[in-house]
Amino acid sequence: MRIKIMEIKGYCDERFISAKHAFEKNFDLGLEVGASFAVSLNGELVVDIWGGFSDSAKTKPWEKDTIVNVFSTTKVIAAMCIHMLVDKGLIDVEEPVSKYWPEFAQATKENVLIKHLLSHSAGLPGFDEKIPVEALYDWDRIINLLASQKPWWKPGTRIGYHMITFGYLLGELVRRVTGKSLGNFFRENIANPLDIDFHIGLPESYDPRVAEIITPEEIFYKWQVTLVKMFFRKTAKVFYNPSLENLNINGRAWRSAEIPAGNGHGNARSIANIGSILACGGMFNHKKIISRSTVEKAIKPQISGRDRIMLYSPQKFSLGFGLLDDRFFLGPKSFGWGGAGGSLCVMDIKKKLSIGYAMNKMHMKGDDPRTEPIFKAVWEVVNEEK
């Protein structure tokens, strides 16, 4: 008999008890410090569980309302904001970015289309100019750099993960069209009216319930860093300009800034609820947020192939979302994205399924062993239902 080490709290529909057990096992194996996991099916939360601790010293329990930085899972929200504007007729993804942001037309970028930004094929995954970490908190500085920079390849022809720049590029479009920052646009149109506890630009008053991100002592092996800098120059320019190893991801400056590609704060419940909007064809609590036709267009394949930055092969993107393979045991209508260290938002529009996962212990080397068993357990249940 397996000894139960960690108490898992929250609600779990009996159909998904195997997913709960898989989540619990991660704590038993020492793979987690604190985490939350949620599943929305047909617009209803059928799993909403959490456990562990929100700090590295393991003195503060992970609570129902604990939130945490989910890094690039934030990109799902950034893309959704653009599609809300598409749905309102305020943005056309087939139009040049410069139609809405005239200064962007510099340095041969007059033919860069909005769909190139969304599909990570615009050729602007990093910065040519050397910048310090502090520059990430200066929106205008970053926007001016990107506006004046020449693409690293012909836009629309290659995939190159826009790790940090994705959020600035989409955020500036939102600002040009609405006059609001992407964080404020999301807050006013999704988070507040739908009571979803997710934030891009976190007020200091929320700090007491933010989990501490726990990074490995050595994020990357030294030989990996050396090889990247020697042989993959573009990858090095993305990862080491600025050097993210010098980033204080538990600090107030990072939390308060609006970096829509990577510093959203939420939990599995809020991630699953946001994802359910897209998984249910634009509906949330019987209210239309985005039209189904816009969602269907948003998840159509745009480009596939080897990622020139992350060196993944193959990779496939729609308009803002990764089109997923069998790593998460989902079907041909599944899409989503994840964040550094392990957080995930995975959706399937055919099954009206949305899965959220958020944790504070980052896993950085190789495939994350925590999520695959949980996702498999969920998918087996959903796939059996008619």
For residue 231, what is the domain's CATH number?
A: 3.40.710.10
- Least confident residue range of 208-212, 303-307, 355-359: 303-307
- Domain assignment present for 1: no
For the chain, the domain total comes to 1
- The pair of structure tokens assigned to 368 is 């994350």
**Relative orientation angle of helices 74-87 and 268-279, to the nearest 10 degrees:** 30
CA distance 37 to 66: 12
One-letter amino acid for residue 238 of the chain? V
Say yes or no to pLDDT of 149 above 90: yes
- The pair of structure tokens assigned to 300 is 């159509």
CA distance 240 to 217: 18
C-alpha atoms less than 13 angstroms from C-alpha of 156 in its C-beta half-sphere? 9
For residue range 10-35, what is the model confidence (pLDDT) as tens digits?
999 999 999 999 999 999 999 999 99
- Domain assignment present for 236: yes
**Which band of pLDDT confidence, cut at 50, 70 and 90, is reported for residue 243?**
confident
In 135-181, alpha helices (H): 139-148, 165-178
**Which band of pLDDT confidence, cut at 50, 70 and 90, is reported for residue 330?**
low
- Domain assignment present for 94: yes
Residue 5 is predicted with a pLDDT of 57
End-to-end alpha carbon distance in the chain: 34
- Phi/psi class of residue 53: alpha, beta or left (left: φ > 0; alpha: ψ in -120 to 50)? beta
- Domain assignment present for 2: no
Say yes or no to pLDDT of 53 above 90: yes
- Domain assignment present for 54: yes
For residue range 197-224, what is the model confidence (pLDDT) as tens digits?
999 999 999 999 999 999 986 655 454 5
pTM of the model: 0.94
CA distance 207 to 212: 10
CA 125 from chain center: how many Å? Answer: 16
Query: Can you spell out the DSSP letters for 275-333?
Result: HHHHHTTTEETTEESS-HHHHHHHTS--EEE-BTTT--SSEEE-SSSEEP-GGGT--TT
- Least confident residue range of 68-82, 219-233, 325-339: 219-233
* Averaged pLDDT, 49-60: 97
Note down the domain range covering 161.
9-384
The candidate with the shortest Cα–Cα distance to 125, out of 353, 317, 268, is 317
Respond yes or no on whether the N-terminal peptide bond of residue 314 is cis (omega within 30° of 0): yes
- The pair of structure tokens assigned to 217 is 């002592």
Say yes or no to pLDDT of 4 above 60: no
Say yes or no to pLDDT of 41 above 90: yes
* Averaged pLDDT, 229-254: 81
CA distance 171 to 124: 15
Place of tokens 């050396």: 226
CA distance 260 to 70: 11
Contacts of 334 (CB under 8 A, 6+ apart): 323, 324, 328, 346, 347, 348
CA 237 from chain center: how many Å? Answer: 21
In whole angstroms, how far apart are CA 351 and each of 43, 332, 366?
Answer: 11, 11, 29
Residue 227 is predicted with a pLDDT of 46
Residue 105 is predicted with a pLDDT of 98
Residue 232 is predicted with a pLDDT of 61
Percentage of the chain modeled with pLDDT above 70: 91
CA distance 310 to 218: 19
Which 8-state DSSP code applies to residue 149? P
Residue 311 is predicted with a pLDDT of 72
Residue 211 is predicted with a pLDDT of 98
CA distance 264 to 272: 14
- Domain assignment present for 237: yes
Report yes or no: 202 and 265 within 8 Å, Cβ to Cβ.
yes
3-state class (DSSP) for residue 174: helix
- Domain assignment present for 3: no
